[in-house]
Amino acid sequence: MALLNIAEPGQSPIRTQPHKHALGIDLGTTNSLVASANSEGPFIIADENGEALLPSVVAYQNQEEILVGQEAYKLSDAISSVKRLMGRGHADVAHKLAYKLIPADDGGMPLIETSAGPKSPVEVSAEILGKLAKRGQAKLDAEIDGVVITVPAYFDEAQRQATKDAARIAGLNVLRLLSEPTAAAVAYGLDKKLQGNVIIYDLGGGTFDVSLMRLEKGVFEVLATGGDTALGGDDFDRAIARWIEEQSGQETSQQNLSGLNAIARETKHALSEHSEAEITFNGWSGKLDRQTYYSLIDSFIDQTLKACRRVLRDAGMKNEEITDVVMVGGSTRSPRVQEKVSDFFKQELLNELDPDQVVALGAAIQADILVGNKYDNELLLLDVNPLSLGIETMGGLVEKIIPRNTTIPVSRAQEFTTFKDGQTVMSLHVLQGERELVEDCRSLARFELRDIPPMVAGGARIRVTFQVDADGLLSVEAEEMSSGVKSSVVVKPSFGLEDQAIEQMIRDSHSQAEHDRDMRALKENQVEALRIIEATESALANDADLLETKELKALQESLQLLRDSLESADTDLIKQRSESLNELSTEFAARRMDTEIRKAFKGKKIEEVDR
């Protein structure tokens, strides 16, 4: 007999399938986070040391050893702010970096020079995503069914595709790319029960987004969005760094740039709490007061406010129609940012939730829904495409098919025709941007429609359809209506990676998994052996006289054997000789301790020792 799952009218039926595990990942310019959600709500997943933030920094020590996060943070060859390179060409990089870029032959994303060879920004981002996913998997003690990764609302096709490529290399099942402001609105909308027209002001380390959203009864509709994918707290740091160089009369080399940027960052943090900060750099000492600091960063904050004005104008709204302003991103902790944003919108700001964590929390909520865990509290997210999408027409002009701030997913079509008599082929050039000329917009893809029946000029009807999915990724199809011949392209921008390259990287990650585990074990045992060697050598230098000649000789021989084993790649041999030396030195360690105790008590009375 079949059993029916019955529920009261208007209520969701009880679900009995097992709970699935999903993660929300905020892949940030400066720091990244991972979160998950359960029946009690979303929560941030910290590492084994209780640290929630993972610095978005990667250092390639060699082919086998890759450091990610705090381990790589202070290394001179560390790669930071790689998010700013995602989907960008070499010409788009306008500031000096602490690492060397190698221009790509095809004009696409530059490669980064590392000790393990040239690396794509996509590969570097994959290391960060992989580290976060492992953290989440360890916390949940389960396989991950899918992830939601957040991206700046103003990320274009190339940047979104590069993010998806990075996730694929990391072996992640991407449920959706979610705009960072939308994720923040989800977290605040559920936590604070917000309703009305809400501005999400998101200023991170390397990107700025502003979105105007309407929140009403579980529906999160993006009305307009704007921003700058190359503007953030990193620019505050660089402004301070330039000031230090000017004041000290020194120009920093690329090798020392990371150190100068670290000093600038510490100065920025200090000025959030104090009226002035003392700075020491390469023998120069000075002070930066808060007013001078404000003069250095006000132009960047003003750029964000210009974007806010554009968003209001695009949505046809005025300041007084805004019900709440939500502050997101670590850089919104700056008192100057809060002051100027509050003055602009003429209202108190919402910043109760941790601005570093709110995006990851919102992503976790959406991920939990998308894997099918929540049924009575589903959200409807109506996002928009940030930039117009169109096609090249005669004269190098751009015909916009999907205007910016159109709600996605969306499908739009428009008809075109041939220019010459007997034309049987049409070349289609897909573009993104707000300008009217092709040369001022970003090229996304080119493809051809062939076998068009020969007709007089203007006789053919070519229907071009643009489709944008929920991730903001585009596919384009062209069809000649009388004959039915078709051609299509799924937009893979030149800044993304080819499918073969991605598949190869994924295969490599699987095929090298055992080798990577072995190399990790070898490195760990080598480090432990070096610690034992150093401790033994120090003990012998100070207290060799506590040993008999035979004992000293045995210890020295064991020490040399362990030194010799470090030159091999034999993990078991290193481990065995480390244990052997430890055993031989146990009695020696006990004698040294007895000697130290006797020295400490020598000449003292029992009453003094008791005290």
Kindly name the residue from 26, 209, 228, 477 that is annotated as catalytic: 26
Tens-place pLDDT, residues 561-609? 988 888 877 888 988 988 888 888 888 888 888 887 877 766 665 555 4
Alpha-carbon span 174 to 437, nearest angstrom: 35
Q: Select which of 123, 127, 165, 202 is catalytic.
A: 202
Any domain includes 9: no
Per-residue buried b or exposed e for 355-394, using 16+ beta carbons within 10 Å of the residue's own CB: bbbbbbbbbbbbbbbbbebbeeeebebbbbbbbbbbbbee
26 is catalytic: yes
Q: Are residues 491 and 517 in the same domain?
A: no
- Whether 433 and 535 map to the same domain: the answer is no
Assess whether 202 carries a catalytic annotation: yes
The total number of structural domains in the chain stands at 3
Q: Which of 83, 164, 268, 400 is catalytic?
A: 83
Give the domain extent around 34.
22-232+296-384
Q: β-strand 380-384 against 410-416: which pairing, if any? A: unpaired
CB 151, CB 116: distance < 8 Å:
no
The residue type of 221 is E
Residue 249 lies in a domain: no
Shared domain for 418 and 547, answered yes or no, is no
Looking at the chain, how many residues does it have? 611
Report how far residue 300's alpha carbon sits from residue 298's, in angstroms, rounded to the nearest whole number: 5
Q: Give helix then strand counts, H and E, for the chain.
A: 14, 27
* Rounded CA separation 426/414 (Å): 15
User: Does residue 111 share a domain with residue 148?
Assistant: yes
340 catalytic residue (yes or no): no
pTM over 0.85: no
Please say which residue of 334, 355, 384 terminates a domain: 384
Q: Which of 47, 77, 157, 180 is catalytic?
A: 180
Mark whether 139 is an active-site residue. no
Is 72 in the same domain as 172? yes
Residues with pLDDT less than 70, the chain: 1-18, 63, 92-96, 106-107, 190-192, 254-255, 374-379, 492-513, 515-517, 520, 601-611
CATH of the domain at 555: 1.20.1270.10
Query: pLDDT tens for residues 241-298?
Result: 999 999 988 887 766 777 888 899 999 999 988 999 999 988 899 999 999 999 999 9
- 546: helix, coil or strand? helix
